[in-house]
C-alpha cells in the first residue's frame, strides 16, 4: 500500500517502509510508531539536519499528547523517543496568534449571512440546490476545518467567499483589510511560468515573509519547504507534482495574505512536506479555512470543524471528525432503512471508517430507541437553544480577543482579568458542547 494519508497508515499498517536516498528502510508498526522510531534514529544520528529533527520532535509530541493516531503497544523501546518531547511546547500558541491576527485584520473578517446557492440549470442537467440559508462568522485568527462528501458544496462555499460565484440569496461580507489567498486543487496556474526556473520566479516575488512576528528570507522559506539550492535552477515544467504544489504554496505566502483558504492541500505532498507545511501554519497569524479528506491534517492545524452533510446546511461539529462520521453513519443508515423498506436493496459496498473522512457507508448503526414526536420537538428546541448559546460564545470570544490585542500589555491586572474571562468562556463552551453532543445522540 502506497499512501501519504497518515491516519490511514496508522490504522491499517503493521509495518512501514520509508523510501529515501535510493534505499528502503523498514519500521515496525503504523505511522505513529514510525515517527517514534524515526525520532530515536535521528537523535542517534549526528548527520541529521537540525530542522528535520525539530519537525519530527514536534510531530511526535502532538501524537503522544492524545492525537487520534495511536502509539499503543509498539514493539520497540520508546523511552529515548519520549525523552525528546519532555519539554516540547504545544504546536502553536492560539491566543498569541489570535492577537496578531486581530492586529492585522481588525475585528471583522468574513461574515456569511443567510447564504443560499443553486447551480444554474442546463439542457442536460437540472438545477441543484447546494447551500441553504448558511450563516457563518469567521473572526481574526480562527482556524476552521470543513468536511463533507464530494458534491456537498465545499468548494462552492469557498468560491462564494472569494467572490468568484454569485449567491442565489444572502451575502458574504468581508472586512476592509481582508486579503484572501487560496491554494486550489489545481496547479495549472503555474503553466504561465513554464520556461522559467524556480529562482527567477521567486526573485520577482517579495524577498521576505513575516509569520508570528518573525521575518523569514526567501531562502529560509524555500529551504523550509524542502527545496535545495540545486533545485532552484530547475525549470518549473520539470518539477514533480509535489514540488509544484510546494511552489504554489510558497507563492501564496509571499503575498502575505491574512485569510488563507486551503482546498485539498495534501494533494501530491509526501509526509515530510506535510509536516513542513503544518510547521509553517503553526506560526501563521491569520484566519484559516481548510477543506480536506486528510483527517490527520484537519485535526492538526484547525481548532474547529464544520460539515456540509449534503442537505445544504452547514453544521458545527463540537466533537470534531468523530461527530461527523457518526452523523454520516446515522444519515446513511436511515437512507438504507428507507430503501430496504421500499423493497429495494441498500448500498452496502462502502463503510464509514474513523481513519478517513471520505467514505460513505456505515459498518453498523446504533439501535437506540427513537424519541416520540413530542419528545423530538422538545429535544430539537433545546438543541437550537444550545446552538444559539455556542454562537453567542463564539461572538463574545472574538470580541474578547480584540480587547486583548489592543489592551495595554503592561497592565498585568487587566490582562489577568481578560485571561480569566477567556477561561470562563472556555468552560462554558465545553459545557454547551457536551450538552449539544448529548442532545444529538438522543435525537439519533
Q: pLDDT higher for 334 or 433?
A: 433
Q: How far, in Å, are 70, 78, 270 from residue 9 at the CA level?
A: 11, 19, 13
Exposed/middle/buried for 36, CB within 10 Å: 0-12, 13-18, 19+? buried
Cβ count near 332 (within 10 Å):
21
Domain for residue 349, yes or no?
A: no
Q: Is the pLDDT of residue 288 over 90?
A: yes
The phi-psi region of residue 365 (left if phi > 0; otherwise alpha if psi is between -120 and 50; otherwise beta) is beta
Q: 383: domain range?
A: 368-444
Q: What pTM does this model have?
A: 0.59
Same domain, 298 and 437: no
Least confidently predicted of 38-52, 175-189, 336-350:
336-350
Q: How many domains does the chain have?
A: 3
Which of 308, 337, 358 is the endpoint of a domain?
A: 308
Strand pairing of 259-263 and 287-291? parallel
Q: What is the distance in angstroms between the CA of the first residue and the CA of the last residue of the chain? A: 36
Domain for residue 353, yes or no?
A: no
Same domain, 60 and 145: no
Same domain, 78 and 174: no
Q: pLDDT higher for 78 or 283?
A: 283
Same domain, 270 and 382: no
CB of 5 closer than 8 Å to CB of 356: yes
Q: What pLDDT is attached to residue 353?
A: 42
pLDDT bracket for residue 432 (50, 70, 90): confident
Cell triple for residue 442?
Answer: 438522543
Same domain, 287 and 372: no
Least confidently predicted of 69-73, 174-178, 383-387:
69-73
pLDDT by residue (tens digit) across 291-341?
Answer: 988 888 888 889 889 999 888 999 999 888 888 888 888 776 655 555 455
pLDDT by residue (tens digit) across 94-110?
Answer: 555 445 445 555 578 89
Q: What pLDDT is attached to residue 164?
A: 94
Q: What pLDDT is attached to residue 72?
A: 45
- 112: CB partners within 8 A, 6+ apart: 134, 135, 136, 137, 138, 157, 160, 161, 170, 172, 173
Q: pLDDT higher for 27 or 52?
A: 27
Q: What pLDDT is attached to residue 202?
A: 79
Domain for residue 65, yes or no?
A: yes
Torsional sign, CA 13, 91, 283, 395:
positive
Domain for residue 73, yes or no?
A: yes
Same domain, 417 and 278: no
The phi-psi region of residue 407 (left if phi > 0; otherwise alpha if psi is between -120 and 50; otherwise beta) is beta
DSSP strands (E only) in 29-153: 110-118, 129-138, 143-147
Same domain, 377 and 243: no
Same domain, 11 and 148: no
Helices (H) and strands (E) in the chain, counts: 14, 13
Domain for residue 430, yes or no?
A: yes
pLDDT > 90 in the chain, percent: 16
How far apart are alpha carbons 379 and 373 in whole angstroms?
A: 10
Q: What pLDDT is attached to residue 81?
A: 46
Same domain, 59 and 173: no
Q: What pLDDT is attached to residue 268?
A: 75
Amino acid at each position: 500500500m502506497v499512501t501519504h494519508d497518515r491516519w490511514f497508515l496508522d490504522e491499517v499498517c503493521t509495518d512501514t517502509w520509508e523510501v529515501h536516498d535510493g534505499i528502503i528502510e523498514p519500521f515496525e508498526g503504523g505511522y505513529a510508531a514510525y515517527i517514534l522510531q524515526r525520532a530515536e534514529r535521528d537523535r542517534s544520528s549526528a548527520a541529521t539536519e537540525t530542522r528535520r529533527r525539530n519537525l519530527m520532535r514536534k510531530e511526535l509530541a502532538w501524537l503522544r499528547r492524545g492525537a487520534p493516531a495511536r502509539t499503543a503497544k509498539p514493539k520497540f523501546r520508546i523511552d529515548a523517543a519520549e525523552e525528546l518531547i519532555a519539554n516540547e511546547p504545544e504546536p502553536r500558541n492560539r491566543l498569541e496568534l489570535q492577537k496578531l491576527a486581530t492586529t492585522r485584520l481588525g475585528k471583522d473578517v468574513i461574515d456569511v449571512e443567510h447564504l443560499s446557492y443553486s447551480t444554474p440549470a442546463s439542457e442536460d442537467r437540472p438545477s441543484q440546490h447546494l447551500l441553504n440559508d448558511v450563516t457563518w462568522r469567521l473572526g481574526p485568527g480562527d482556524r476552521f476545518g470543513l468536511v463533507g462528501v464530494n458534491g456537498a458544496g465545499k468548494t462552492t462555499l469557498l468560491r462564494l467567499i472569494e467572490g468568484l460565484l454569485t449567491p442565489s440569496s444572502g451575502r458574504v461580507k468581508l472586512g476592509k483589510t481582508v486579503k484572501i489567498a487560496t491554494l486550489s486543487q489545481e496547479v495549472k496556474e503555474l503553466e504561465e511560468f513554464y520556461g522559467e526556473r524556480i529562482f527567477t520566479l521567486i526573485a520577482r516575488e517579495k524577498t521576505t515573509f513575516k509569520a508570528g512576528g518573525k521575518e523569514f528570507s526567501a531562502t529560509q522559506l524555500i529551504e523550509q519547504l524542502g527545496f535545495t539550492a540545486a533545485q532552484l535552477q530547475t525549470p518549473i515544467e520539470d518539477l514533480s507534482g509535489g514540488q509544484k504544489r510546494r511552489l504554489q504554496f510558497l507563492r501564496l505566502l509571499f503575498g502575505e495574505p491574512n485569510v488563507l483558504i486551503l482546498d485539498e492541500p495534501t494533494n501530491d505532498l509526501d509526509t515530510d512536506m506535510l509536516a513542513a507545511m503544518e510547521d509553517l501554519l503553526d506560526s501563521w497569524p491569520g484566519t484559516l479555512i481548510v477543506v480536506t479528506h486528510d483527517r490527520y491534517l484537519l485535526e492538526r492545524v484547525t481548532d474547529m470543524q464544520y460539515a456540509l452533510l449534503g442537505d445544504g446546511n452547514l453544521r458545527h461539529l463540537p466533537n470534531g471528525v468523530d461527530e461527523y462520521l457518526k452523523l454520516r453513519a446515522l444519515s446513511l443508515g436511515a437512507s438504507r432503512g428507507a430503501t430496504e423498506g421500499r423493497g429495494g436493496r441498500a448500498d452496502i459496498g462502502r463503510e464509514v471508517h474513523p481513519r478517513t473522512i471520505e467514505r460513505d457507508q456505515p459498518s453498523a448503526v446504533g439501535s437506540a430507541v427513537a424519541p416520540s414526536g413530542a419528545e423530538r420537538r422538545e429535544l430539537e428546541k433545546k438543541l437550537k437553544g444550545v446552538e444559539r448559546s455556542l454562537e453567542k460564545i463564539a461572538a463574545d470570544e472574538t470580541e474578547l480577543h480584540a480587547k486583548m490585542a489592543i489592551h495595554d500589555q503592561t497592565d498585568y491586572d487587566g490582562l489577568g482579568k481578560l485571561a480569566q474571562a477567556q477561561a470562563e468562556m472556555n468552560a462554558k463552551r465545553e459545557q454547551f458542547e457536551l450538552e449539544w453532543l448529548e442532545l444529538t445522540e438522543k435525537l439519533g
